[in-house]
Amino acid sequence: MSYVKEAFDKVKLRDPEQPEFHQAVWEVLETLEPVFESHPEFKDAKILERLTEPERIITFRVPWVDDKGQVQVNRGMRVEFNSAIGPYKGGLRFHPSVNLGIIKFLGFEQILKNALTTRPIGGGKGGSDFDPKGKSDMEVMRFCQSFMNELFRHIGANVDVPAGDIGVGGREIGYMFGQYKKLTRKWEGVLTGKGYGWGGSLIRPEATGYGQVYFLREMLASKGDSIEGKKCAISGSGNVAQYCAKKVLSYGGKVITMSDSGGYIFDKDGIDEDKLAWIMDLKNNRRGRIKEYVSEYTGAVYHEGKRPWGENCDIALPSATQNEIEEKGAKNLVKNGCLAISEGANMPTSPAAYGILSKAGILFGPAKAANAGGVAVSALEMSQNAAFDEWTSEKVDSKLDKIMTGIHQQCSDAAEEYNQKGDLVVGANIAGFIKVANAMMSQGVV
Ligand code: NDP
């Protein structure tokens, strides 16, 4: 049996109830076979067994009191996965579906993604099964404070630096940062995604979506094509989706769909800047549902309980959640002549769907490369905090653009070096893995 298969079987045996983690691990391991042929020393050092086992997992009780005076109890967790190239870095997700397998899949992806950014950051992820939807601001604040009452002892500006993810935006980061400061008496860059004016970096809210589109631009440019005039189907209407849409518009693309967990809207005339501003206000301030869009813009149609991949589009930008493009969606995308996919969400394409898309030769930007812009700017926020400095948005955006262009180049080069020219999935996995594996080799068995 091959080394990668052996290592994967051990992962499954150890935690059989974590399907998302198995999926994320296998998607990487199955592409690494050629690396072990040229680097047998990685096998002797049991790099895969070590890479797939988190350095530390913390789980804890999060009790809080709701507006009716009732006690509520959630579970909090932080997976400190790998610190070979820097302090643990990765977001916190607040969503009822959160469990250890999901946080481990996200943390594992984060290790290689962070390596691709070329910044000195390790991989981690955390979260809770708390659902911020429908909660008052005060309930969210009490939850965040209770969450931080335990998390604070495990994190620090040079130890572990969480950020946002699904259900965790500027509001939640603010409440958690406030509590961290109160408990430790330290003002330090312990969380990223902070508000502008109190340590937050300009362009951090935009970074993941902008970066996703910069990566798309590079993929298309490698084929002599561009975003201008392309019909783009976007899923999600949260942080990533909003800024993905904004950047697509700035390159002259046409945004035809957005969604939330209730369904998606299709606007044949395109979601322009004004309509996008309306959606951003709906989602970020009024905290409403995407279906309300069709009452405001009556030419649009709402599809309850569906995903947008059946629409005729040139480009698909999945920006909501894991496994949101399944076999049927992939077949529709191929049938309708989709040219390229750039993943904003983490692991949004199921393995079966990816098989269909890759067979059809669709340009494919995998999440760990295409959505690395968020964590890259988080690392820039850490640099600014450490130096008590603040950079202009032009400076941050231009660094982000360079980083994303560089990531595309690294993925292309690694794919070519390992005889799989143009396969950015293989390229991203190999380029990220080699960097982490080399660092682990240098640091001994720890
Ligand atoms: P938000 O919470 O801001 O938005 C999430 C969006 O996805 C919402 O529209 C939400 O709808 C929708 N969504 C969530 N779960 C589901 C589901 N099960 N089915 C359908 N739609 C769903 O999160 P982000 O925009 O920050 O994150 C989106 C994705 O991007 C995630 O996969 C995240 O891991 C990834 N990502 C985020 C980064 C960041 O910087 N924020 C960085 C890198 C990756 P609803 O409101 O109805 O729940």
pLDDT digits (tens, 9 = 90+) for 190-236: 999 999 999 999 999 999 999 999 999 999 999 999 999 999 999 99
Which residues in 169-314 belong to E strands, given as ranges? 231-234, 254-260, 263-266, 301-304
Residue 412: both structure tokens together: 């292309």
Sign for the pseudo-dihedral over CA of 413, 367, 363, 360: positive
Whose C-alpha lies nearest to ligand 1, atom 7? 320
* Nearby residues of 205 by Cβ (< 8 Å), 6 or more positions away: 170, 193, 239, 243
User: What's the rounded mean pLDDT across residues 22-37?
Assistant: 97
Ligand 1 centroid to residue 239 C-alpha, Å:
7
Give yes or no for residue 401 having a pLDDT over 90.
yes
pLDDT band at 354 (very low <50, low <70, confident <90, very high): very high
User: Residue with the nearest Cα to atom 5 of ligand 1?
Assistant: 238
Q: Which atom of ligand 1 is nearest to the CA of 113?
A: 43
**For residue 351, what pLDDT band results from cuts at 50, 70 and 90?**
very high
Q: From the CB of 164, is ligand 1 less than 6 Å away?
A: yes
Residue of minimum CA distance from atom 33 in ligand 1 = 345
Q: What token pair was written down for 239?
A: 């942080």
Q: Bridge partners of 76?
A: 60, 128
Distance 237 CA to ligand 1 centre (A): 8
* Region 164-180 average pLDDT: 97
C-beta of 242 in contact with ligand 1 (< 6 A): no
CA 141–ligand 1 middle distance (angstroms): 20
For residue 165, how far is its CA from the centre of ligand 1 (angstroms)?
A: 7
* Cβ neighbours, 10 Å, residue 15: 15
Q: For residue 30, what are its two tokens? A: 């199955």
Q: Is 143's pLDDT higher than 90? A: yes
Distance CA 261, CA 273 (A): 23
pLDDT band (50, 70, 90) for residue 427 = very high
Q: Is 265 in the pocket of ligand 1 (CB under 6 A)?
A: no
Q: Which residues pair with 172 in a beta bridge?
A: none
Fill in the amino acid letter for 72. Q
CA 46 to centroid of ligand 1, rounded, Å: 34
Amino acid 74: pLDDT: 98
> 78 exposed, middle or buried (CB, 10 Å; 0-12, 13-18, 19+)?
buried
Where would I find the beta strands (DSSP E) of 283-432?
A: 301-304, 315-317, 340-342, 363-365
> Sheet harboring 340-342: ordered strands across?
301-304, 263-266, 254-260, 231-234, 315-317, 340-342, 363-365
The minimum-distance atom of ligand 1 relative to the CA of 321 is 32
Q: Where are the beta strands (DSSP E) in 361-431?
A: 363-365
DSSP state of 168: B
CB 371 less than 6 A from any atom of ligand 1: yes
The CB of 110 under 6 Å from ligand 1? The reply is: no
Contact predicate 35/433, CB 8 Å: yes
Q: Which of 11, 153, 189 is CA-nearest to residue 76? A: 153
Taking the C-alpha atoms of residue 334 and residue 350, their distance in angstroms, rounded to an integer, is 15
Q: Report the C-alpha gap between 267 and 265 in whole angstroms.
A: 6
How does residue 106 score in pLDDT terms, banded at 50, 70 and 90?
A: very high
Q: Exactly one of 89, 125, 275, 435 is catalytic; which is it?
A: 125
Which of the listed residues 235, 240, 271, 287 should we mutate to test ligand 1's pocket, taking the one with most ligand atoms within 8 A of CB? Answer: 240
Alpha helices in 90-238 (DSSP H): 100-116, 137-151, 170-184, 204-221
Residue 287 Cβ contacting ligand 1 at under 6 Å: no
Buried b (16+ CB within 10 A) or exposed e, 283-310: bbeeeebbbebeeebeebebbeeebbbb
Backbone φ and ψ of 99, nearest 5°:
-145, 180
Q: Which atom of ligand 1 is nearest to the CA of 346?
A: 32
Please say whether the beta carbons of 141 and 175 come within 8 A: yes
- In angstroms, how far is CA 435 from the centroid of its own chain? 20
Work out the percent of the chain whose per-residue pLDDT is above 90: 100
Structure tokens at 69: 């005076």
pLDDT bucket at 75, cuts 50 / 70 / 90: very high
In 324-401, beta strands by DSSP E: 340-342, 363-365
Nearest CA to ligand 1 atom 23: 166
Q: Best substitution site from 93, 242, 321 to test ligand 1's pocket, by max atoms within 8 Å of Cβ?
A: 321
Asked whether the CA dihedral 207, 213, 216, 217 is positive or negative, the reply is negative
Q: Is the CB of 321 under 6 A from ligand 1?
A: yes
Q: Average of pLDDT values for 305-323?
A: 98
> Residues 251-264: pLDDT tens digits?
999 999 999 999 99
Angle, helices 100-116 vs 424-442, to 10°: value is: 90
345 lines ligand 1 (CB under 6 A): yes
pLDDT in the model for residue 215 = 98
pLDDT at 189 over 90: yes
Q: Which residues does 397 contact at the CB level (< 8 Å), separation at least 6?
A: 203, 206, 210
- Give residue-wise pLDDT tens across range 157-168: 999 999 999 999
| Rounded distance between C-alpha atoms, residue 411 and residue 113, angstroms | 11
352 and 97 Cβ atoms separated by less than 8 Å: no
Give yes or no for residue 258 CB within 6 A of ligand 1: no
- The single residue listed with the structure tokens 């902070």 is 194
106 Cα nearest atom in ligand 1: 34
Whether 125 is catalytic? yes
- Asked whether residue 268 carries a pLDDT value surpassing 90, the answer given is yes
Q: Residue 1 above 90 pLDDT?
A: no
Q: Is 344 in the pocket of ligand 1 (CB under 6 A)?
A: yes
Q: State the chain's mean pLDDT as an integer.
A: 97
237 lines ligand 1 (CB under 6 A): yes
pTM above 0.95, yes or no: yes
Q: What average pLDDT does this structure show over 187-192?
A: 97
List phi, psi (to 5°) of 445: -85, 95
